[in-house]
Every structure is written in structure tokens, then in C-alpha cells.
Structure 1
Amino acid sequence: MSINGVFDCIVIGAGVQGSFAAYQLAKKNKKTLLLEQFVLPHTRGSSHGQTRIIRKAYEQDFYTRMMEECYELWAQLEREAGVELYRKTGLLVMGPEKSENYQLFKNTLQKNKVPTVILTRDNFSKHIPNVNLAEGHGALVDESAGVLYADRALKTVQGLFQKLGGVIRDKEEVTEIKPGPFVTVSTSAHVYRAKSVVITAGPWANRLLVQTGLQLPLEVIKINVCYWKEKVPGSYNLKRHFPGFLLTESEESKEHVYGLPSNEYPGMMKICLHTGSKTDPDKRDQQTDRSDIDILQRCVTRTFPGLLPEPAVVETCMYTLTPDRHFVLDYHPTYSNIVIGAGFSGHGFKFGPLIGKLLCELILGEVPSHDLSPFQIRRFQANTKSSL
């Protein structure tokens, strides 16, 4: 096959969303090219790392409903590849009992009949050892939740895409996109043409969209991914099915704190603040703000007495945020053969298989299998710049 030939679709960005979109297109027998600017696998974007939390616990109904299908699609992928990608551990949700946030999590789970255990102050320590429940806080466990093996999932879906005849070209940075009935995509190595294009470029999305006359209100932030050592090995252990957790707010911060037993570093817990400092994706290593780590140290000291209160390992990740923290899954406002998946706001990985399916449906002109109104570009209106 001529690599410089014409494709049915080019997907730009081989993170979790782009890889699943490419895989879905290849399943529909579309000649698909998946482009990635870095050498695969890499740690420069938002999809790397060994683990991610998967959960139905959300404040919004539509995410909880979407997760129903996500679990099925993850299980289907496991069967297809013969690889374990998910481990059920449950997710502990804690927060001020009377707060709107905590109540939204609780109500959404109950309304959607998700298996949930409501914990009381009396039985909390019996169910959840080595964790202090703050005064006035409620606690519940989303029993369906667990851990996704992220790196393994990415490698698996890319492998299946290639088995279906899909082409991956890494180390090819996109330098130009020329819209038209056939979209021309120039990279650092080649020029390609395709009937349609999917842009899933994470923190680099706006740099590509500007070439199509569009700018979305996206903000890129750098997250410090912190690993905290156990005082007694095995206290917070994945093998013992110690749950991941989500603290809806704390004395230290209104932002979520989340964590899970570390697969990457045995004897540690991965605990992060769900926010960070604004950054340039190509200069993120120059961003050295540690204010989130200071908040986490106080939170860990108070909530996890079995952990040393200083992170042993600090890695980095990036979030691409929208103003409302909901995704962008939509057609380009001017070019219907360009579809955009962006702004996954630090909670998109678990939705990967479904987002891939939805982007594929959009590009093929099919009716989307879920209501995409929360994810449409027009919700930004004044914040969306078009130069065309």
C-alpha cells in the first residue's frame, strides 16, 4: 500500500481516544492512518502510565449512563485480545456529607441502580482500614469501579488496529492541515490525503485547529502525579483489592483528590490533586509549581496515616481542560469531514472505547449512539474563535 496514498480517514494523535477511533474505523473496513508526533510508546501526553481509575460514580447522569456501555466495550476488547485490562476493586467516594458535590455522586449512583455500599462512621474502619474519615464526611463505595491497565490498553488497541490493516506512523508531527473535499495533511515526513480527518491531539489540539480557522477555549495544565510510600508494606494493596478513592473536597482544597494502589511502584499509593498549573505542552518540564504537592501532603497526613507524608516519586501528566470540564465530541463548525475529540479534562481515559465509537459514528455520518449535546462546540459560543 502506498503510504502517501489517499485514505478514507486520517486520525491525528495516537493517545487513547485517537487509537480507539482508528480501531473503530478499521473495524468498519475504512482505510485508516493513525499519526503520532512522538515515538510510540511515549510519556509526553495524557494517555501514558500503567493505571487509571474506571468508575460509574459521577455527578452527571450522562457520564454514568455512558459508562454502562464503556464497561461492555472494555470487556469486549479483553476478549478480542485475550488480555486482562481491568481489575475490579471498587471506588471509595468521600466528602462533606451535606455538600452538593457528595450528594450528586450519591444520587447519581442510586438513581442509575449502580451497586453501591453506603458506609457509616461506625462501620467505616471495618470496611476501609488505614483511612481516616473526616468529621462530617460521608462515604460510599461504587462497587463496579476498579483499575484499568492504561499502557497495556493502549498497546492492545493499537495492535488490533494494525491487525485490521490500519497504518500507524509515529515520529511524524503534523505541520499543516488543508481542509477541502479531500483533506491534505502534511507531516514532518510525508503528505497524505483523506476523505475525512479526526483530530484527537490532546494538549496540541488548538495548534492544529488554528490551521482550520478554529480555536476552542482549551486550557492545558500540568499535573504532578505523586506516589506515596507505605509505612508498612501491603497496607494499601491492589492484590487485596484495596479500592481506589475519590475525595470530593477536603479542608485543603475544593478540587477532587483521587488515588489508587500503585501498580507501577509496589508498596506505594498513587495520589493526585485533580488540578495543576497552566503550561505549554512543549515546555511542561519547565513548569515546577509544587503548590498541589503541599496540599496533598496535608491531605495525605490527615487521611492516610499508613503513608509517609512526602511523595517518594513525582511524575507528570497533562490535562486539556474545557471551561465546564466536559468533552468536545463534534464536527468542525465549517468542515463536516473534520471531527474533533478534545478537552477530556483529566477524566477521559475510561471512556476511550466509547469515544472511539462515537467519533467513528460522527465521521461516517451515522446517528451517534449517545446524546452528544453536552459535548457540542456551540455551547462555548463567545469563547470559540473562528477566523473564517
Structure 2
Amino acid sequence: MTEHIVIGAGLAGAATAYALTMRGEDVTVLEQHTPANAHGSSHGSARILRFAYPQRLYLDLVVAARAMWDDVERAAGTELIITTGALDHGEARHTAELAALFAAAGIDHEVLSPAQAGARWPQFAFDTAVLWHPAAGVIDAETAVSAMLRLAVASGRARVLEDWTVAEVGRRAGGGFRVTSANGGAVDGERVIVAAGAWLPALLGHLGLPRGFLESLPDFEVREEQAFHLPYRDGERPVRRDDPWPTFIHKTGEIFTYGLPGGRDAGFAGQKLAQFNGGRVIASALDADGQITTAMRARMIDYAQRYLPGLVPEPYAETTCLFTNTPTEDFVIDEAGGVVVVSACSGHGAKFAPLLGELAAGLAVGDGSVPEEFRVAHHRG
């Protein structure tokens, strides 16, 4: 009998499978499409790895996760992260407070005036102080999922079942669980870890979770985000050169925009831009349509014209991605009756993937703990 069943083969599910096999546990990963597919939140080659959080908890967790990414890269023999550095600016980004946290945590950083930052990065336009931290970078999400699953399978303790849509998680009379598929297949295991991302809301009533736990979960909001790749102007250097564009977060009272080098799936030819939580709200991934709106396209073009003189303000590629948010933007990692829920990463979970997998694995085997902020009781309170 398989000891653990992981539902979902995105970043969180792949990391959980890898962490479990590193502990000597057996795992079956169930994925309704293919790992890191475009119907979820882990596709593509460009996710931001940054340290700038206003909460010390998350800053410390990024530090821990970054070391774990190094371990995964060494084990896989594959580059997963490109170091680019990151820029934070805008009056609502509170760079002074972020810098104070960096100083307390020993994170290398600089605070520059708009003129100083503009001289160093003339491809940007700044109107407030700018926080620079050079350790930030870009994660290749799809390659990371593939690497962690490959390591898990190579251990001899994991298998990945694709095109396997979960219909129900039921309890077996003799103990443990039976997970059945939409076409009648079944997999048995002692514990179930649900890392279904934006598919979670549609699955919640079918996971065998205790009623009290289910009723205490926070309200999940799924958004279909829209991202736009704008080309570098002639002479600008793409991400894999010696001087890549940094990632950035620009937050004012009106806009919350982020950007990063577009990565492999956009030909390394430009910067990827998006408005944080700017997409439409949907019930779950089942309702995603992959459509780009003319309003959001126009908004991002206008943003580039105002703040990114180093880009041609004409998208050459566009994509959508699903964010699953909690009201506080804190993660949900908790266990009830043998079922572990790992979800609702609120658009900022990719950078933590190896750590999320380790936390979930610890709950599944019963020898770990997670921050209270991620427990259901915290969300309920």
C-alpha cells in the first residue's frame, strides 16, 4: 500500500512528494493533467524569488527556503534560479520599513534616491526611494516541478499518475484512505496531502475532511491573473546575460505592479508584467477561460509607457495564471484526520516551494510543525 497520496503536481505537490521520499516514505502523486500544466499556478519559467516582506516570519522563511532551493539544484544537477536582484519602490511599498527588517535579518541591501536608482537602472523611472536587494531572482517553475518529481521517482519511492482526476477521498474500513478517480480508478494510502491550488475550492466537499475543520477553513478567492511580456528595446540585455534586468515591485495608492525577466517560455526577450490581484474572481480553476482583457492590456501598456522606458510598450506574449488567496494572504498548511491541506498561497508561494513541501511532509508523518499563522485556527481567529 502506498503510504502517502499527494493530490496535485504543481510546485507544492512536487515539493511535498520530494520531501516525503527524502524521509524514506512511499508516495503516489495524482495529477489530473500533467505536472506544472497551464491550467494551474505552476506553469511557465518565471516566478519571483524575493526577500522583501513586511513580516519577519516570511522573511525568515524565504531565507530557509532559499537554502533548500540550493539543495534541490545540487541534487537535480539543474539550474532552477537565476539571480537578478530586486527593486522595491512606490510610496505604498514602505521601503524604509523593509530596509529595517533587512538590516535586522542581515540581508544585503541598499536604499537609493530616485536619482541614484535611475542612474543605475535607466530602463526604469522612479519617483520614490528604491530598495535594492541583490540576492533576489527568478525561479523556473516548470523546471523546478520536473526536477523535484524526477528526484522523487528516482528514489524508487514515488510514482506520478497523470490524467488522473480525483473524484472522492474516502476512508477505508481497515484504516487509511481510498482516492477514486472520475473514471473509476482507485489508489489506497495511509495519508492524503492535498496540494490542488486553484482546484481546491471545487474539491473541498470531496476530501473526507472533518466537518469542523472544513467549516473553519478561510474563504478562498481564486483570481485569473493576466501577465504581459513586453520586449526590451534595442541594446537591452536579456536575463541570461551578465547584467540581467532586476525583478521589481512598484506599489502606490493606485497600482500594485510587479515585473521580472520573462524567462525561457517567453524567449528571454522581455520583461513580464502583471498587476497583483488584478484578474477577475472565479469560483475555482474549473471556471478559468484563459482570456486576456483589452482593459488590462491597455493598463499594462500605459504602465510601461510611464515607468519602464527600457521596454517597447507592445506585448509580444500574454498569459494567464491562477492565484488562490486567503483574506490575510497567509498560507494554509494544516492537518485533520489524516488529510493535510497545503494551499492558498495567495500569489506568493512559489519561492517557498521546498519549504512548503517539508512542512507538509512533517505534518503527514507526524513529526513536524508549521507556523501558527498557517494553521486553520489562526485563519478562523
Give the TM-score of the pair, scaled to structure 1: 0.89
Q: Which residue of 2 aligns with 1:117?
A: 110
CA distance in 2, matches of 1:115, 1:109: 7
**1:68 Cα offset (Å):** 1.4
CA distance in 2, matches of 1:322, 1:103: 27
Q: Structure 1 residue 171 and structure 2 residue 163: aligned? A: yes
Q: Work out whether residues 89 and 238 of structure 1, in 8 Å CA contact, stay in contact via their aligned partners in 2.
A: no
Q: Which residue of 2 aligns with 1:385?
A: none
Cα separation, partners in 2 of 1:288 and 1:314, compared to 1, 3 Å: closer
Q: Work out whether residues 200 and 341 of structure 1, in 8 Å CA contact, stay in contact via their aligned partners in 2.
A: yes
Q: Structure 1 residue 32 and structure 2 residue 27: aligned? A: yes
**Structure 2 residue identity aligned to 1:177:** V
**1:238 Cα offset (Å):** 4.1
**Structure 2 residue identity aligned to 1:330:** D
CA distance in 2, matches of 1:199, 1:124: 43
CA distance in 1, matches of 2:295, 2:142: 28
Find 1:250's aligned residue among 244, 249, 252. 252
**1:41 Cα offset (Å):** 5.1
**1:251 Cα offset (Å):** 6.2
Q: Which residues of structure 1 form unaligned runs of 5+?
A: 1-5, 383-388
CA distance in 2, matches of 1:346, 1:10: 25
Q: Which residue of 2 aligns with 1:386?
A: none
| SS of 1:46 mapped into structure 2 | coil
Q: Work out whether residues 93 and 250 of structure 2, in 8 Å CA contact, stay in contact via their aligned partners in 1.
A: no
Q: Which residue of 2 aligns with 1:379?
A: 378
Q: Which residues of structure 2 form unaligned runs of 5+?
A: none
Q: Work out whether residues 21 and 360 of structure 1, in 8 Å CA contact, stay in contact via their aligned partners in 2.
A: yes
Q: Work out whether residues 252 and 299 of structure 1, in 8 Å CA contact, stay in contact via their aligned partners in 2.
A: no
Cα separation, partners in 2 of 1:351 and 1:143, compared to 1, 3 Å: same
**Structure 2 residue identity aligned to 1:196:** R
**Structure 2 residue identity aligned to 1:183:** F
**1:131 Cα offset (Å):** 1.0
Give the TM-score of the pair, scaled to structure 2: 0.90
Tell me the number of residue pairs that the alignment of Structure 1 and Structure 2 aligns. 367
Cα separation, partners in 2 of 1:219 and 1:270, compared to 1, 3 Å: same
| SS of 1:361 mapped into structure 2 | helix
| SS of 2:241 mapped into structure 1 | helix
CA distance in 2, matches of 1:56, 1:243: 17
**Structure 1 residue identity aligned to 2:307:** T
| SS of 2:285 mapped into structure 1 | coil
Q: Which residue of 1 aligns with 2:276?
A: 274
Q: Which residue of 2 aligns with 1:22?
A: 17
Report percent identity of matched pairs. 25
Q: Work out whether residues 102 and 248 of structure 1, in 8 Å CA contact, stay in contact via their aligned partners in 2.
A: no
**1:144 Cα offset (Å):** 1.0
**1:297 Cα offset (Å):** 2.1
Q: Work out whether residues 52 and 147 of structure 1, in 8 Å CA contact, stay in contact via their aligned partners in 2.
A: yes
Counting only pairs closer than 5 Å after superposition, residues 108-187 of structure 1 correspond to structure 2 as: 108-134=101-127, 137-165=128-156, 166-179=158-171, 181-187=175-181
Cα deviation, 1:129-177, whole Å, max 9, x if unaligned, reads: 211112xx11011111111222211111110010012010010000111
CA distance in 1, matches of 2:258, 2:143: 25
CA distance in 2, matches of 1:132, 1:199: 43
